C-alpha cells in the first residue's frame, strides 16, 4: 500500500495511531523504564494528545475541500507547541553543567500554587530535572519527540493538500 495514495481519512487515522503509540511509549518509559517525566516532557505529551485528538476527529469527519485545513491547522497548532517545547528542552539539555538551572518544584505543585501564566513561565525557564539526558537509541527523548512532531506535521499537510483520487475500476 503506497502511503502517498492514502485517503485523507486513512492518513489522519494513521497520524492518530502514531500519536497513540508515542503516548503509550511515554507511559512505558515512565512506568516500565523508570524515567520520571519533567514538566517539559509532560507538555510534550499534552501536545501529542492534542494532535491525536484532532487527527482522530479529522479521520472520523473526513471533510472535503478547504474544510480539511481546519483539522490540519489544529494538528499543526499542537505540532508547533510540541516543537517549541522539545526545542527548549533540547536547549536546556545542551547547557554546560554549571549553567543548568536549579531543580524547581514539580508540575503538580506549580499548578496548585501559581497562576497559570506564572506556572508556564517557570516551566519554560527550565529546571535541573529537565536538563537530565536519558538517551534512547542514542538520542535524548526530546530529540525523538521533535522528530515526530515534524514528521506528523508534514503528514497532516500532505493529507490536506492531496486531491481526492478516484478509481477507474
The per-residue pLDDT for 65 is: 80
We report the CATH number of the domain holding residue 80 as 1.20.1550.10
66, part of any domain? yes
pLDDT of 117 > 60? The answer is yes
What are 136's strand-pairing partners? 139
Range(s) of the domain holding residue 42: 3-159
pLDDT of 19 > 70? The answer is yes
39, part of any domain? yes
CB 40 within 8 A of CB 92: yes
How many domains, the chain?
1
- Calculate Rg over the CA atoms of the chain: 18
83, part of any domain? yes
97, part of any domain? yes
109, part of any domain? yes
169, part of any domain? no
CA distance 52 to 75: 8
165, part of any domain? no
Can you tell me the mean pLDDT for 74-86? 94
Q: Which residue has the higher pLDDT, 70 or 131?
A: 70
User: Out of 9-18, 88-97, 143-152, which region has the weakest mean confidence (pLDDT)?
Assistant: 88-97
- Could you tell me the pLDDT band of residue 14, with boundaries at 50, 70 and 90? very high
168, part of any domain? no
The per-residue pLDDT for 168 is: 46
CA distance 169 to 149: 37
Output DSSP code: residue 164.
P
Amino acid at each position: 500500500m503506497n502511503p502517498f495514495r492514502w485517503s485523507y481519512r486513512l492518513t489522519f487515522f494513521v497520524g492518530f495511531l502514531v500519536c497513540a503509540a508515542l503516548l503509550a511509549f511515554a507511559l512505558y518509559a515512565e512506568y516500565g523504564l523508570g524515567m520520571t517525566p519533567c514538566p517539559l516532557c509532560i507538555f510534550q505529551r499534552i501536545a501529542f494528545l492534542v494532535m491525536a485528538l484532532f487527527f482522530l476527529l479529522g479521520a472520523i469527519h473526513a471533510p472535503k475541500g478547504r474544510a480539511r485545513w481546519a483539522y490540519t491547522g489544529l494538528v499543526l497548532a499542537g505540532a508547533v507547541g510540541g516543537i517549541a517545547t522539545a526545542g527548549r528542552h533540547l536547549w536546556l539539555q545542551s547547557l554546560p553543567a554549571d549553567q543548568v538551572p536549579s531543580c524547581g518544584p514539580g508540575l503538580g505543585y506549580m499548578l496548585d500554587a501559581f497562576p497559570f501564566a506564572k506556572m508556564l513561565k517557570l516551566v519554560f525557564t527550565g529546571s535541573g530535572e529537565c536538563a537530565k539526558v536519558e538517551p534512547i537509541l542514542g538520542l535524548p527523548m526530546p530529540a525523538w519527540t521533535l522528530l515526530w512532531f515534524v514528521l506528523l506535521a508534514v503528514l497532516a499537510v500532505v493529507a490536506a493538500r492531496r486531491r481526492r483520487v478516484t478509481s477507474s475500476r
